[in-house]
Amino acid sequence: MVKPDGVQRGLVGEIISRFEKKGFLLKGLKLFQCPEELAKEHYRDLQSKSFFPKLIQYVTSGPVVCMAWEGVGVVASARKLIGATNPLEAQPGTIRGDLAIQTGRNVIHGSDSPENGQREIALWFKEDEIYQWTQADAPWLM
């Protein structure tokens, strides 16, 4: 998900491009204003943290771009493409390392496990917003 600061700063194309160029398959994509209840459910594991209210305010402060990406090892690879939570600790070349400076404005969220990826797709997308399609066969890439 491109967070509200990423949308406001015009980074949506840049971020989508990095996942596309890596070779992942885009299965769902939408601009979406996140309701407070959904933000709280999405980040329920962090509800005891002191920054939780600010996090909810941030994620609901403007539209986000929800993306569902598919591919071999996509969750772990996306974490690498995204970089560390604190952008100042994120490696140059990563999305956060290149495009952000504050943990509280770190431009993108990525699922941290395949199970959470499935859970989050079900939370953020309706069933008919996920498209089943495949790239042209390229067996030499496997």
Strand partners for 32: 64
Q: What is the 3-state secondary structure (H, E, C) of 76-142?
A: HHHHHHHCCCCCCCCCECEHHHHHCCECCECCECCCCCHHHHHHHHHHHCCHHHCCCCCCCCCHHHC
> Per the annotation, does 79 bind a ligand?
yes
Q: Does 14 bind ligand RTP (CB under 6 A)?
A: no
Structure tokens at 39: 């933000």
Residue (of 97, 99, 59) closest to 80 by Cα position: 97
Residue whose CB is less far from ligand RTP, 25 or 75 = 75
CB 119, CB 16: distance < 8 Å: no
CB 67 to ligand RTP: min, Å: 13
Binding-residue pattern over the window 16 to 35 for ligand RTP, x denoting contact by CB under 6 A = --------------------
Q: Does 94 bind ligand RTP (CB under 6 A)?
A: no
Say whether 42 is catalytic: no
Q: With CB under 6 A as the contact rule, which of the stretches 23-31, 64-72, 100-108, 115-123 interacts with ligand RTP? A: 100-108
> Per the annotation, does 106 bind a ligand?
yes
Q: What residues are labeled active site? A: 109
Rule CB under 6 A: which residues touch ligand RTP? 46, 51, 55, 85, 103-104, 106, 109-110, 112
